[in-house]
Every structure is written in C-alpha cells, then in structure tokens.
C-alpha cells in the first residue's frame, strides 16, 4: 500500500463516523479545536519559526515570508474563524424537497455531506484551520496537502486541531495531513477517485491549472477573474466613476477586482476623461484602444494581450464599443466567467446584459468587488467557483454538500 493510499483508507474509515455526526457534536468539535489553537499557540509559533527560518535561509521574498509567518494574533484569528463557522447554520440534514408520487411513494431530497474533500494549497498556514473548519462543519473528512514551505506549521496546526477533537471524543482522523510534501504524492492524490470525492485547489493560477489538467477526481475550480465594467451610453457618469474606482482600487490583488473597462462611444468623450482623472489620482495606469487614446492623453496603447490579462495590479485596460452587442461580445470573448458589471439607467440594456453575459455574477450598477461569500450573506467562503458544474460563484457551506434521495414506501413495486 502506498503512502497516499494509506491516507485514503484512513479517510474512508473516518468518513463513516464523521458523516453521521450531529450538529451539536460537530460544533463542539469546532469550538474545542479553536480553544486548543489558542491554548497551544506557543507550540504552533515555535513550529512556525522553523518554517520561517528555513524560508529566510533559502532567500524567500519578504512578502511571501509575511504570508508564511504566524503571530499570536493570526492564530487567534484562525480560532475566531472556527468559532464563527460553529455559529453558522448547518446545511446538512435539510430536507430540500419532499413530494408524494401518484403511487404513494414519498420522495424527498436531503442535503448530506460530500464525503472526503482534498484541499491542495500553497504557503499560507491559516488555510489549514479554515479548510478543516468548513469541511468538518459539513460532516466531511479533509485531506490537506499544504505547501512544503509551511510543512512544520501545518503539521503543528493539524496536531492541535486533533487534540481538540480528541478532547471531545470525536474522530481525530476527520482531518488528515499529507505530511510528506514529496510532489509524487500530489500526482497520486489527483487520481485517488476511490478515496476522494472532490478536490479543491487553493492558490495561484499555476497550482489550479495543474490540478484541473491532471486530476481525474472531480475538481472545483476557483479560477482567476478578468472582470469587466461596461459603461453603457445611458450610464450615470458619476456612478460609473465611483464604481470603477472601487472595483479597481479598493483592493487590486483579488479575483473580483476590475481589470478591464468597456466604454460606449456615445458617452466616451465625457466618460473617459472623468474616469482617467479619478484613476490617475490613484496611480492606475490605463491601457486603451485607439479611440480611447485619441480622447485622453496619458492613456497608453493597449495590445491584444491586454484584453485577456488579469493584472492584479494598478493597471486597467479600456476598450471602446459602438453598441451593447459589441460590449457583450467583447466581454464574453475575454472574460474568465467571474464577475461583470454594466453601468446603465436603461432598463432594456440592463436586462440584456444580465441575460447574455456568461459569468458567475452579472451586476447592474454595482462594483464587482461584491462577489464574495460574506458579501453574499453566506457567512463563510470556500472560494469562488468559475466553473459551471456543482457550484458557480461564491461558495458557502452548501458547496461542500450533496443530496441524497430518501424514499418512503409501503410496499411499492414497479409495474
């Protein structure tokens, strides 16, 4: 039996116990894990220090070391996250629908745990507690494979979470860590269809693409966001400028930030200078097509590549169009299926944009930055799915569940 197969078997064994835990038990487990994280904060910091020292020795960039480094505040934040998950309503067990068929069979759909969830992530050790919390709340077993940079930290966090579970007489194998960060184990993990029900990669585009391309286990893809704001000819200009400013600059390094503007020609002469003025103040570089450059000095010439680029930086592209149809065509060609917004006071155009744009979230007169599990009222976020199967857009707890048909008969046989 291989190293990964042994973990897979442990997960399958644990699944039987975890799946049938009641809400109270699961919430007790989450709270005990949170308390243990605080109580054992010193131990976690010690182990984290080993990772940080190694990273410094290897010359890791300061910004990455900062993501890797834990502090007692960060550990408290992890614990607080688990407490918040405990406070959320449990989606598992809900009877989504129930009906009676002509033959008297009562057929219900019940929300149940998914089973075994594999999470593959990079250097931020806080994902370890967070992923466990979301999965355990739904009665799932988690197999965590974190980055090698955070190996000691992740091991310590998982050990402490398990101490919390054991304290409450809950199965400690509800959370399993791939401690050996040999990459061959990841390759094997991606093909463990008999042991893992779903894989969720969390991290950069490289990691996500690798998992999507190589996994035979079903994957939930949390992809990149090349998000657009389209300023329709009937836009309220002041609103447009405020929304663009917010969508671009409130936080630049996130997937729901705006990366590209589309401007209707009939409003371009007023809109472009106003947008330029505001973005220029915030040090945002604009790369526009010919018409945009002709209207506003200071806009740089965009290349074809710009239309498809997620900058995650203080840069934005700007395309002018002659019609809403052209805007929709442009966005549907270059977007990544994440979040798109139209600014308009025109009723027909608002609905047309929402109908015809192919993306997880389509806004009228609002910032794309709202695409987020907390902003959508889910109380938690597993990620933002840019695929169409199973879950699309911000994923709350429900995304880690499935349904089961429960059928009540009194002797029915099929004719």
Q: Cβ of residue 14: shortest distance to a copy of itself, in angstroms? A: 13
- Residues in the interface with a copy of itself (CB under 8 A) total 71
Of the residues 64, 88, 312, 366, which one makes contact with a copy of itself according to CB under 8 A: 366
Should residue 354 be labelled a site residue for a copy of itself when binding is judged by CB under 8 A? yes
Of the residues 54, 64, 83, 212, which one makes contact with a copy of itself according to CB under 8 A: 212
Should residue 197 be labelled a site residue for a copy of itself when binding is judged by CB under 8 A? yes
Of the residues 216, 303, 322, 348, which one makes contact with a copy of itself according to CB under 8 A: 216
DSSP secondary structure code for residue 400 in this structure: G
- Closer CB to a copy of itself, residue 61 or residue 213? 213
- Closer CB to a copy of itself, residue 264 or residue 369? 369
Q: Cβ of residue 297: shortest distance to a copy of itself, in angstroms? A: 28
Helices (H), 114-251: 126-137, 151-167, 183-189, 205-214, 237-249
Element (H, E) at 414: none
Tokens of 145: 């494979």
Should residue 213 be labelled a site residue for a copy of itself when binding is judged by CB under 8 A? yes
Distance CA 56, CA 69 (A): 11
Should residue 243 be labelled a site residue for a copy of itself when binding is judged by CB under 8 A? yes
CB hemisphere CA count around 379 (13 angstroms): 15
Give the range of 123-131, 164-172, 192-200, 290-298 binding a copy of itself by CB under 8 A: 192-200
Nearest-CA neighbor of 397 among 117, 34, 175, 88? 88
Q: Cβ of residue 290: shortest distance to a copy of itself, in angstroms? A: 26
Should residue 41 be labelled a site residue for a copy of itself when binding is judged by CB under 8 A? no
Distance CA 52, CA 49 (A): 5
Should residue 359 be labelled a site residue for a copy of itself when binding is judged by CB under 8 A? yes
Tokens of 124: 């931020």
3-state secondary structure 38-86: HHCHHHHHHHHHHHHHHHHHCCCCHHHHHHHCCCHHHHHHHHHHHHHHH
Write out the binding residues for a copy of itself, residues 313-342 only, by CB under 8 A: 329, 332
Distance CA 164, CA 88 (A): 19
Distance CA 114, CA 120 (A): 17
Question: End-to-end alpha-carbon separation of the chain, Å?
Answer: 47
Q: Cβ of residue 11: shortest distance to a copy of itself, in angstroms? A: 14
Contact in structure between 342 and 232 (CB atoms under 8 Å): yes
Should residue 95 be labelled a site residue for a copy of itself when binding is judged by CB under 8 A? no
Per DSSP, the three-state class of 248 is helix
Distance CA 151, CA 51 (A): 7
Q: Cβ of residue 90: shortest distance to a copy of itself, in angstroms? A: 14
Contact in structure between 233 and 220 (CB atoms under 8 Å): no
Of the residues 16, 205, 281, 282, which one makes contact with a copy of itself according to CB under 8 A: 16
Mask: binding to a copy of itself, 146-175, rule CB under 8 A, as x and -? ------------------------------
Burial of 411 (0-12, 13-18, 19+ CB in 10 A): exposed
- Closer CB to a copy of itself, residue 4 or residue 220? 220
Of the residues 10, 181, 214, 252, which one makes contact with a copy of itself according to CB under 8 A: 214
Give the range of 53-61, 148-156, 178-186, 383-391 binding a copy of itself by CB under 8 A: 383-391
Give the range of 81-89, 181-189, 281-289, 348-356 binding a copy of itself by CB under 8 A: 348-356
Contact in structure between 201 and 121 (CB atoms under 8 Å): yes
Mask: binding to a copy of itself, 102-141, rule CB under 8 A, as x and -? ---x-x------xx--------------------------
Of the residues 101, 205, 269, 281, which one makes contact with a copy of itself according to CB under 8 A: 101
Q: Cβ of residue 308: shortest distance to a copy of itself, in angstroms? A: 12
């Amino acid at each position: 039996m291989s190293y990964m197969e042994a973990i897979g078997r442990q997960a399958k064994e644990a699944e039987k116990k975890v799946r049938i835990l009641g809400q109270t038990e699961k919430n007790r487990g989450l709270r005990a894990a949170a308390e243990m994280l605080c109580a054992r904060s010193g131990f976690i910091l010690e182990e984290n220090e080993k990772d940080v020292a190694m990273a410094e020795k290897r010359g890791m960039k300061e910004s990455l070391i900062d993501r890797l480094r834990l502090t007692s505040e960060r550990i408290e934040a992890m614990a607080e996250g688990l407490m918040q998950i405990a406070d959320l309503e449990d989606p598992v067990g809900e009877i989504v629908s129930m009906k009676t068929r002509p033959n008297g069979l009562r057929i219900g759909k019940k929300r149940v745990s998914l089973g075994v969830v594999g999470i593959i992530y990079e250097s931020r050790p806080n994902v370890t507690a967070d992923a466990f919390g979301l999965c355990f709340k739904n009665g799932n077993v988690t197999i965590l494979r974190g980055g090698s940079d955070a190996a000691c930290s992740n091991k310590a966090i998982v050990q402490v979470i398990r101490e919390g579970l054991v304290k409450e007489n809950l199965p400690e194998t509800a959370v399993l860590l791939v401690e050996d960060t040999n990459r061959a184990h990841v390759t094997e993990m991606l093909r463990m269809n008999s042991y893992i029900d779903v894989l969720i990669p969390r991290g950069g585009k490289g990691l996500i693409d690798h998992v999507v391309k190589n996994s035979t286990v079903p994957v939930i893809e949390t992809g990149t966001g090349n998000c657009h704001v389209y300023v329709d000819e009937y836009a309220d200009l002041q609103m447009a400028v405020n929304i663009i400013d917010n969508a671009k600059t409130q936080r630049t390094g996130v997937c729901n930030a705006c990366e590209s503007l589309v401007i209707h020609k009939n409003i371009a002469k007023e809109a472009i200078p106003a947008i330029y003025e505001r973005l220029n103040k915030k040090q945002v570089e604009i790369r526009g097509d010919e018409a945009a450059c002709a209207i506003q000095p200071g806009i740089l010439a965009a290349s074809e590549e710009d239309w498809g680029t997620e900058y995650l930086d203080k840069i934005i592209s700007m395309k002018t169009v002659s019609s809403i149809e052209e805007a929709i065509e442009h966005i549907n060609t270059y977007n990544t299926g994440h979040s798109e917004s139209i600014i308009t006071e025109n009723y027909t155009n608002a609905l047309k944009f929402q109908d015809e744009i192919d993306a997880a979230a389509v806004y009228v007169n609002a910032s794309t930055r709202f695409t987020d599990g907390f902003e959508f009222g889910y109380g938690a976020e597993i990620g933002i799915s840019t695929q169409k199967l199973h879950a699309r857009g911000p994923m709350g707890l429900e995304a880690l569940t499935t349904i089961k048909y429960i059928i009540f008969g009194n002797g029915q046989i099929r004719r």
